[in-house]
Amino acid sequence: MIEIDHVTKRYGEKLAVDDVSFVVRPGVVTGFLGPNGAGKSTTMRMIVGLDAPTSGRVRVNGRSYRSFEAPLHEVGALLEARAIHTGRSAYHHLLAMAQTHGIGRQRVDEVIDIVGLASVARKRAGGFSLGMGQRLGIASALLGDPQTLILDEPSNGLDPEGILWIRTLLKRLAGEGRTVFLSSHLMSEMAVTAEHLVIVGRGRVIADTTVEQVVAQASADAAVHVRAPEATALREALAAEGVHIRSAERGVLEIRGLSAERIGERAAEQGLVLYELTPQLASLEDAYMRLTADAVEYGTHSTHESLELVA
């Protein structure tokens, strides 16, 4: 469990984190989202004691990071991952870390297996690809078998196989009852990895809820896609104030202002056949864009205009 309680972080004039409070619970993967400069890395650094809050309190597994005698056993972190430039092999890199923390060789072999580096563990880690480097970073985070894991952009630069592997691993670790907290700018990946989300913008919390809820809220005014052989009759049966129906092609209706359930009921009442009845759910990316529209510090703010100019 990670508890962030009224945490503020200033760097001189810059307010990087502004009175932020949230709790990351064990058992589910929690995603940490926000535009560039929103304060995600700063918050993560404070969780693992690399930075101190200007005010407020951070607790991991019920205690402050500084009070841990063996932090590696409490919280594993993959922060600002980059290829490790070292002449050491992955095995010796992990072994050195293990030895300074009283962790046995057997655990080094275990984490090498977990992250799938067994075949290259004796090779120089400096020559590793980005994906192999990420796996080594995750092995380091897992070394102390910690209850809590924090990963900043773990999928960064990984190929599809690597991304799938990380997703499966993180879900498994959460399924074991651990606290898993990860940041990512890959919305499609976050949508299938995380169950809960904390979204920040300009140093403040914008949303702290489930992925399902974020998507449902953004989909509230979305259209229902309907395919019906007697589309004209259906259109007439559904016509009412507040109902907007568009037809992009023959036999297909895009309906706003009525739920899929209501459309199905009205069609049944009239004895009209439906071939398809699909609520058009917003994607997590759509939902995120709407939620953070006012919080983007370094965006262009003119994506749509630019697209129109190009078109």
Q: Which residues bind ligand ATP (CB under 6 A)?
A: 11, 14, 16, 34, 36-42
Nearest distance from residue 182's CB to ligand ATP, in Å?
12
Shortest CB 227 distance to ligand ATP, Å: 41
Distance CA 245, CA 193 (A): 35
Nearest distance, CB of residue 267 and ligand ATP, angstroms = 47
Cβ nearer to ligand ATP, comparing 37 with 116: 37
The three-class DSSP label of residue 197 is strand
> Residue 230, exposed/middle/buried by CB under 10 A (0-12, 13-18, 19+)?
middle
The rounded distance, in Å, linking the Cα atoms of 144 and 154 is: 18
- The least CB distance from residue 32 to ligand ATP, in Å, is 9
- Nearer to ligand ATP (CB atom), residue 124 or residue 185: 185
* Residue 81 or 111 having the CB closest to ligand ATP: 81
Query: Coil, helix or strand for 25?
Result: coil
Q: How near is the Cβ of 101 to ligand ATP at its closest, in Å?
A: 27
Bridge partners of 149, per DSSP, are: 76, 180
Nearer to ligand ATP, 45 or 178 (CB): 45
- Helix (H) / strand (E) element for 166: namely helix 160-175
Measure the CA–CA gap between 26 and 28, rounded to whole angstroms.
6
Nearer to ligand ATP, 14 or 172 (CB): 14
